[in-house]
Amino acid sequence: MINTKPFNDFYFNEIPLDTWVLSTAPAGKVVFNGYSLDDSSNGLTLKNLRYEDMPTRDLQTYSNPFTDGRTITNTYFRDQKVYVTCRLEKNTIANLESELTALKQKLQGVNKSLIVREVNRDILYKATLTNTSEISRRTKYNRNICDLTFEFTAFDFGSDENFRSERFESITSSSYEFVYTNSGAYQSDLVFVVIVNSETDMTDFTITNDTTGKAITITRAFVAADYVTVDGQKGTLAVTLAPSTELDFTGVFPRIDVGYNVFTLATTSTAHNIDLIIKTNFNY
């Protein structure tokens, strides 16, 4: 069962926060934490926008003493820069001072939403203003106009159009294979939700991306109504809707390569009936 729309009132496919941010944000080509940097009512005019199309890439490698070079074991996208140049103009110096003070308050958030609106898409980042001194150094002036260039360190490079969820219901086999396709341009992290409808002696389950060979195993004395979230985007595990006990895991959080991916859900139990939900935001 595929749901490509972010809006759904059922608990396992709630409105993604990013989509809510996009739908409630004010007008403007660049919006940070609900504050438009291209809004004439604030006296701001966007002069220039520049951002890196790709984030920096972190390579995990190891050296083999019996061969040349290094072997890459994993790659992770990290951060990227977004540069926004605005002109702030007010009718008096006093009003300019007041707006600069407001800017200091509005732009101080950490990992807040930064929306960049293009012609055919909205790009949503989690961003933090890096050059905080840019506003402070403008405190001395003799006119009611000044230019400001903000440097944001941003994370994520997804789109509001790329949210997708899929649910596989009433799984009873010990090994269940399913296919998931990444329609984005880069590798993405996944969120898996396992709902235990009923079980007998269920002690663990393993989610494997057979395409990449990466797998994670969750160990627990499961009970009916357990709701386990394996969040590859945050690197966290959570159990809700049932008394929580120790939750162990081995392996790595599976990611999804571009294109066609084959997954397997393997469960150890005498009998079980579970639902599996997958949620992701495919990357450009």
User: Could you report the per-residue pLDDT of 133-186, keeping only the tens digit for each?
Assistant: 777 665 555 578 888 889 998 876 554 445 677 888 899 999 999 888 887 667
Nearest CA to 209 among 235, 174, 248, 180?
180
The pTM for the full model equals 0.52
So what's the pLDDT on residue 263? 92
So what's the pLDDT on residue 20? 38
E-only strand ranges, the chain: 2-3, 30-32, 35-36, 44-51, 57-63, 70-77, 80-89, 112-117, 122-129, 145-171, 175-182, 188-200, 204-209, 214-219, 227-231, 236-240, 248-251, 255-256, 259-268, 271-283
Half-sphere exposure of 17 (CA within 13 A, CB side): 5
So what's the pLDDT on residue 120? 66
Segments of the chain scoring below 70 in pLDDT: 1-28, 52-56, 74-78, 120-121, 136-142, 156-163, 184-185, 241-246, 282-284
So what's the pLDDT on residue 15? 35
| Tally of CB atoms within 10 A around 253 | 21
